[in-house]
Amino acid sequence: MKIKKVYLPDGKEVELLAQYRDGDETKYVVKVAIDEDVYGNELIYENRIVPNVYEKYEDIPMFLHKTELEDEIEKLEKNIKELKEEEAKIKRKMKSLYNPQFAIGTTIYSTAWGNEVQELKIAKIVFTEQEDKSYHTYFLNKEYRSFEKIGSGYYLTREEAEKARQEYLKNEKEKKRKAIEENYKKAKEEYEKLMEESKKGRSIRKSS
């Protein structure tokens, strides 16, 4: 007789030995492994009478319940991931809001257009949040003076500001030198053009 494998409601695989009617109910005789011998070489079996067996593992209530639980776990893990991402986003915003890079009273050195370096202090900090970005604006203790990031006229040390000032003056000097050279070149070309035209004019008068 071919051994038929079936499954108990708890998911255990057993051998179906027989089945019979007990009134209105069907009972099943199964062979269940309950232990191993003292040497661990063979299994010890016992026969049991059970009210239900399932031919497919997928049909047992435990499997269906497990599948439902796995689906629920997957949804919960997805929700947890989304919540963690949202939490991280909020933390970044909160950190940006409550932890500006520079504090009120921080000394800032400013220079613009090659002017002498000025020593200023941060007097007010304004946090701005937009749909795609957020940032701080640092207002200094001088009217109409503010910045968002260090650089472009605002520095943390006098040395950096002075270096930037000297670089600006150097670049401006070079621009002026090039402008003078260009003007001289144009003037020379114009002079030579006039001289050439003057020579042609004299040659025409002599020939006539």
Q: At 50, which helix (H) or strand (E)?
A: strand 43-50
Q: Return d(Cα 105, Cα 29) in angstroms, integer.
A: 87
- Tell me the residue range of the domain where 156 lies: 102-164
Cα–Cα distance, 169 to 177 (Å, whole number) = 12
- pTM for the model: 0.48
Say yes or no: 92 and 118 in one domain.
no
Q: Name the region of 172 (left: φ>0; alpha: ψ -120 to 50; beta: rest).
A: alpha
Specify whether 30 is located in the same domain as 52. yes
For residues 72 and 49, membership in a common domain is answered with no
Contact criterion met (CB below 8 Å) for 95 and 115: no
> How far is 54 from 123, CA to CA, in rounded Å?
78
156 and 112 part of one domain: yes
Q: Would you say residue 46 lies in a domain?
A: yes
Q: Is residue 169 part of a domain?
A: no
The answer as to whether 117 is a domain residue is yes
Q: How many CA atoms lie within 13 A of 97 on its CB side?
A: 9
CA 70/CA 206 separation, integer angstroms:
110
pLDDT value of residue 110: 95
Per-residue pLDDT 10s for the chain (208 aa) are 567 888 888 878 888 888 888 888 889 898 988 887 767 678 888 899 988 888 887 777 766 667 677 778 888 999 999 999 998 888 877 766 668 889 999 999 999 899 999 999 999 999 888 877 788 899 999 888 999 999 889 999 999 999 999 999 999 999 999 999 999 999 999 988 888 887 776 666 666 5
CA distance 193 to 208: 23
Q: Is residue 132 part of a domain?
A: yes
Same domain? 14 vs 50: yes
pLDDT score, position 207: 62
Same domain? For 113 and 93 the reply is no
Are residue 160 and residue 112 in the same domain, yes or no?
A: yes
Task: Work out how many domains the chain is built from and give that number.
Answer: 3
Residue 146 lies in a domain: yes
**CB within 8 A of 139, min separation 6: which ones?**
122, 123, 124, 125, 126, 145, 146
Residue 174 belongs to some domain of the structure: no
Q: Are residues 141 and 91 in the same domain?
A: no
**Residue 76 sits in the same domain as residue 113:** no
- Is residue 47 located within the same domain as residue 89? no
Contact between 17 and 30 under an 8 Å Cβ cutoff? The reply is yes
42 by Cβ neighbours in 10 Å (0-12 / 13-18 / 19+) ranks as exposed
Could you tell me the CATH number of the domain that includes residue 111? 2.30.30
Q: How far apart are CA 144 and CA 27, in angstroms?
A: 92
